[in-house]
Chain A
């Protein structure tokens, strides 16, 4: 019609409307704030790493493998090393994994898949969350009483076993919570599908829910392990050795009932020494500790990508 020809062309009007507001000031400010926060935390991390590297890399150049094998000593910086610390940390980790993973996942499955939504169960749920926030030194005191003193006949006192059990109960709430969240993220429709073809609850959990939740559970577990690697305070309380340590010569299983030290404990001990020569050693030990933690995180990421599923 003729009227249509007089006004602006429809396509122009629509194109105009689609262009939107030219500047979104609030949005830009918000984005800048986010970016700033990100850069700030990255910067702090970089400064930290640079500082540690400056102090510690020299040690690796001078002594290399010898430092990695060396014993914990506070008197002779030329022979001191992190060997015992690495071994101790690894033994502790084995314990943490063996204790916290099965118990934590089992507890999460119970709470998430079996327990009904009663007041009591919600109370338990809330308290597990609270436990995850309890300062680690408190777990140290708990470990001292239970694993070092009461269960001394079993653990042998201030041993790897006592330290490992203490760290295990320290990370247990984290393992439970992350596993519960992973289980909760599995859509109910998958459970219904399983029940719908006549599977029992356990069959549904084993065949469908657990595999679907595995990436989340594994990530959470590995992250809690990397937390355990770095814990110092509870280990000091339950008696990780900070001085000269005589170990070795006995079998793998005996080593669980011997005295031990751990990397963060080594770092802690050396930091408190007045001798300048130990500064560099401390930095070097921190580098080893960082590498261990980062490897644990890398494993978490690899596992997650490996098992990642979509639904």
Chain B
């Protein structure tokens, strides 16, 4: 695989489908993705994605709706296994180990690589049980009350729910539910947290808190976040990957490709691909 560091001459011409200069983030890679393609039945949702994601950094995935960000994110913790029609080609390595090896147990993968979904999906149970479930199935033996409090505090939700922990999580507002899902994810202390638009249902204050939270979590966790919010990507992430959907002649549908992947600062101030520039400046998508 060809990887070009950021200080090498940038490739500025637009060359559909050819390998883009993929920056290699500094620091040890948690994920190394090579030639990844994902199919839903016959439909190819993304193709030719190669990138590597560094430890203790925040990597943002941006791009127009339907370009395959969620699909990409779900490859990192084998969530696509749950979709019967989905098929993954290429390789995803996690700390050097092949995630899609036959001997790999997806349950073990998901204990280490947690996920916050695009739509808030609390269990129809109490707030407390929502958070306690993960540690319980992971065989946690300590004080669950402490885990619940700590997780809720980290997710900036504790003050709002401390007196109603036994009430149903379905009674929370959308934004509160999303923070609950973040707390639930933190509670199992994963190595990596995958976040799919964690702030799409939040007000600016809660969004700010989640962004602070992400900065704090960075020391402990590696974060990959999908966002539609350019400012957010610019504010919180260290690396940014821009995806777009290209017309797929055979199927008359659009297949997602990785256009450019670089340091966030670079992506927003001096992108090498015109499409990236158009997108981040709001002229497209």
B188 to chain A: closest CB distance in Å? 5
Determine the chain A residues whose CB is within 8 A of the CB of B208 once the complex forms: none
Determine the chain A residues whose CB is within 8 A of the CB of B138 once the complex forms: 197-198
The answer on a CB contact under 8 Å between B137 and A203 is yes
Taken together as a complex, chains A and B put the C-alpha atoms of A200 and B106 apart, in Å, by: 9
The answer on a CB contact under 8 Å between B107 and A196 is no
Determine the chain B residues whose CB is within 8 A of the CB of A191 once the complex forms: 82
B82-117 interface mask toward A, CB cutoff 8 Å, 1 = contact, 0 = none? 101000000000000000000000111011101101
A269-311 interface mask toward B, CB cutoff 8 Å, 1 = contact, 0 = none? 0000000000000000000000000000000000000000111
Given A117-B84, A207-B133, A311-B170 in contact, is the A196-B79 Cβ separation under 8 Å? yes
Q: Does A194 contact B (CB under 8 A)?
A: yes
Which parts of B53-86 form the interface with A (CB within 8 Å)?
A: 77, 79, 82, 84
The number of chain A residues with a CB under 8 A from chain B is: 24
Taken together as a complex, chains A and B put the C-alpha atoms of A203 and B110 apart, in Å, by: 14
B264 to chain A: closest CB distance in Å? 26
The answer on a CB contact under 8 Å between B170 and A189 is no
B85 to chain A: closest CB distance in Å? 9
Given A197-B134, A197-B184, A198-B107 in contact, is the A189-B119 Cβ separation under 8 Å? yes
Determine the chain B residues whose CB is within 8 A of the CB of A310 once the complex forms: 124, 170
Which parts of A168-201 form the interface with B (CB within 8 Å)?
A: 187-200
Residue of A whose beta carbon sits closest to that of B123: A208
Option from B108, B119, B125, B185 in Cβ contact (under 8 Å) with A196 = B185
**Number of CB contacts from chain A to chain B under 8 A:** 78
Q: Does A212 contact B (CB under 8 A)?
A: yes
B51 to chain A: closest CB distance in Å? 22
Q: Does A127 contact B (CB under 8 A)?
A: no
A184 to chain B: closest CB distance in Å? 14
Q: Does B198 contact A (CB under 8 A)?
A: no
The answer on a CB contact under 8 Å between B84 and A196 is no
The answer on a CB contact under 8 Å between B107 and A189 is no
B179-195 interface mask toward A, CB cutoff 8 Å, 1 = contact, 0 = none? 00100110110000000
Determine the chain B residues whose CB is within 8 A of the CB of A193 once the complex forms: 117, 121-123, 181, 184
Q: Does A78 contact B (CB under 8 A)?
A: no
Which chain B residues have a beta carbon within 8 Å of chain A's beta carbons? 77, 79, 82, 84, 106-108, 110-112, 114-115, 117, 119, 121-125, 133-134, 137-138, 170, 181, 184-185, 187-188
